[in-house]
Amino acid sequence: MNILQNKKVIYTDLKEIEYLNAWELQERILNSIVDVKLKNKRTRVDDPLPTSNYFLVVSHPHIFTLGKNGDFHNLLVSENQLKEIDAQFVKTNRGGDITYHGPGQIVGYPILDLENFFTDIHKYMRYLEEVIIKTLQHYGIKGERSKGETGVWIDAGKPFARKICAMGVKASRWVTMHGFAFNVNSNLSYFSYIIPCGIKNKAVTSLEKELQHKVDMEEAKLLVKNNFAEVFDIEWI
């Protein structure tokens, strides 16, 4: 059966949305794509249905999320303290350890059928990193990869290395969900309540902190969108 690759991606900016609502939406979209793939496999028709791709951009109210293999001890506050700082905590099914989401952050959730692109999760993660690295270049900042540590860093490998974008994904039948959290105008004090990504003694930063001024969120979103299209060689719909 010859599957027609579809490299068109549906882009949606959901603005601010509760984390659990976004998670549920991702699951629904992923399952709909998987259903198409299973139907194609069962019927083995000569003209299979193409699968769709999505890219959701959101921000969330204050929340800490723990990956499926993460260490709960990397959350440094109690349930009562979470209430005091107006934050939630949830265990999720993505990869990676603990991270923070909140206002001033660009959270990207690509829900892609990687069989439309390439079936390589390692390559997929490097492409996501490249999107953020290219975005940082626009602001005169050198984003880098850190060996063995997923995400985008500034001054990687140096004593004052600091992370500006965390990443964690899940894939089912080569369909992705979850994604990246890019600190633009984030309140960095919330990272003091966790051991970010389970990595001790390394700082977290934001575009605002690096540039010493607030950043236009809509401009930053557009840069991420354009760089995603370039890196993944896709067409927006």
Point out the residues that are catalytic. 197
Reduce the DSSP state of residue 219 to 3 states and report it: helix
Side-chain-side CA neighbours of residue 165 (13 Å): 30
Q: How far apart are CA 117 and CA 119, in angstroms?
A: 7
Q: What is the DSSP secondary-structure string of 82-140?
A: HHHTT-EEEE-SSSSSEEEE-TTEEEEEEE-BGGGT-S-HHHHHHHHHHHHHHHHHHTT
Per DSSP, what are the bridge partners of residue 59?
16
